[in-house]
Structure 1
């Protein structure tokens, strides 16, 4: 296990004006599972390769356990990397693939055999040791690639989109395996993915990156419930958060806003007093699908909840839920309903909106309004 510190990491290619990485600062504690998440081309793989020593940084420093490795060769950083493509040697058996790095380090044969046996047992690939990669499934090849990394017992593990080539069912299974492995070994892991489900299920902390800039660093719960900006709010969560334009009004002593359905039915919802500075102005309400539901008895009468009728445009049964699409203030909005609560597309339905966890944004701006 090792502590990793990234200080002011910048990366520019050639004479390009646009920076690929824009001053990334992250401290990763020993034994922590950090996930770098963001869209394709955001710079997360460049940052990963910089940590591994496969890319040179333009500015900043990389420290492992306090030792500056910014300009150290990859072999001198004591890092193991699992690639998207697995990068197994096709002519070697599984046993030889796992042992290869240990042979390069000139470990005694007895120690190599013992380490291969340990890793094979840990990953449950003992029956595969004498097979070639071409004889393995995608999930089995991924286990072998992980085994090769684990056999080295490095200070730090890097995973670069390791599950992206697997089918959906196998991805779920391998996520569980990686999670179990981390809990068992307590290793320090930096993991790159564009899949926000992987990020939410695996990470101790998530770093959301866009256009080479770190937008937010926090636990999955923090990222999901208190996103720092509109982009993070929309990127994390499936279906994504809905953003409803509304005008802040005052009715007597209380702030409120009007929500209008596709049929022009109107309901009013209460707003926090901290939005008083926006009275008479338009803001955007950010709300997750699970906060718009069928009427719930245990929430009825709560200050932050309101009910009204909205026309159901589309329903998408998922098994445990029904995702429904409605329209509020001329904006498409997702809601999450109980599968036993019958709603029909094209028909109005009574829905409950819970604003206790709503997030507010200034119209046309990224920053969240603190309330």
Structure 2
């Protein structure tokens, strides 16, 4: 286990007009599972490669257990990396692939055998030790790649989109495997993915990146419930958060409200939390997760408004049904109970739980903070 501190990491490729990494600061505790997430081209894989030493940084510090390794060769950083492509030696058996790094370090053969058997049993691939990679499925190859990394017992493990080549069922199985391994070994892991479901289910903390900048660093619960800005709010969650752009007004009793229009032209006035009074006359964006718009009223909700809205699209998923409606000429996703007898074209009474809403500045797209 090891701590990792990334201090003002900057990276610019030759002839590039803009920085790829723009002053990244992240501190990772020993035994922590950190996930770097973001869209393609956001810099997450580049950041991973700089930690591994596969790419140089222009400035900053990469500190592992108090030692700056930014100028240290990759082989001397005591890091193991699991790649998207598995990177197995095709001419070696599973046993040979797992043992390769240990042989390079000139460990005694009996210790190598014991370590290979330990890792193979942990990953449930002990019956595959004498097979070649070409004889394995994608999930089995990925476990072999993980076994090769685990056998080295390094200070830090790096996973670069390890599940992206697997089908949906295998991805779920491998997520469980990786989660279980981390709980057993309590190792320090940095994991790159573009899949926000992987990020939410695996991470102790998530670092959301965009255009080479860190947008937010926090627990999955913090990222999901209290996003720093509209990018983070829209990126995390499936379906993503609904954004309703509107104007804040005060009603006859000086209470903050918004006025919205349904797809059928019906006008509604929706009460807002009292703290929104200071936004009177300003354009804001209300962020609501689909589960906070439903046919059922949350018993804990203190601010809820019922709107009669036409169900325009229905997507049954099993545990719930995603319905699309229109508010202020914008498509809004709702999460309905599977027991609710819904059909396309039906006008249904839906409760908007404003106590769970997140409010954003319409210009900056940053979350509005309340005292």
Normalising by structure 1, we get a TM-score of: 0.98
Contact 2:7/2:61 (CA < 8 Å) preserved in 1?
A: yes
Q: Which residue of 2 aligns with 1:311?
A: 310
Aligned residue-pair number:
369
Does residue 284 in structure 1 map to residue 285 in structure 2?
yes
Contact 1:294/1:337 (CA < 8 Å) preserved in 2?
A: yes
2:355 partner SS:
coil
Does residue 126 in structure 1 map to residue 90 in structure 2?
no
Contact 2:298/2:353 (CA < 8 Å) preserved in 1?
A: no
Distance 1:64 1:30 in 2: 10
Q: Which residue of 2 aligns with 1:271?
A: 272
Q: Which runs of 4+ in 1 moved over 2 A?
A: 272-278, 295-299
* Shift of residue 365, structure 1, vs aligned partner: 2.3
* Shift of residue 269, structure 1, vs aligned partner: 1.6
Distance 1:267 1:366 in 2: 25
RMSD between aligned residues: 1.0
Q: Which residue of 2 aligns with 1:298?
A: 299
The Cα offsets for residues 113-160 of structure 1, whole Å up to 9 and x where unpaired, read as 010011011111000000000000000000000000000000000000
Q: Which runs of 5+ in 2 are unaligned?
A: none
Contact 1:295/1:350 (CA < 8 Å) preserved in 2?
A: no
* Shift of residue 8, structure 1, vs aligned partner: 0.3
* Shift of residue 278, structure 1, vs aligned partner: 2.2
Q: Which residue of 2 aligns with 1:322?
A: 321
* Shift of residue 313, structure 1, vs aligned partner: 0.5
Equivalences for residues 155-174 of structure 1 within 5 A: 155-174=155-174
Contact 1:32/1:187 (CA < 8 Å) preserved in 2?
A: yes
Contact 1:295/1:307 (CA < 8 Å) preserved in 2?
A: no
* Shift of residue 178, structure 1, vs aligned partner: 0.1
Does residue 203 in structure 1 map to residue 203 in structure 2?
yes
Normalising by structure 2, we get a TM-score of: 0.98
Q: Which runs of 5+ in 1 are unaligned?
A: none
Distance 2:197 2:298 in 1: 31
The Cα offsets for residues 64-104 of structure 1, whole Å up to 9 and x where unpaired, read as 00011010000000000000000000010000000000000
Q: Which residue of 1 aligns with 2:367?
A: 368
Distance 1:369 1:93 in 2: 57
Q: Which residue of 2 aligns with 1:95?
A: 95
Does residue 49 in structure 1 map to residue 21 in structure 2?
no
Distance 2:71 2:24 in 1: 17
* Shift of residue 297, structure 1, vs aligned partner: 7.2
* Shift of residue 274, structure 1, vs aligned partner: 2.5
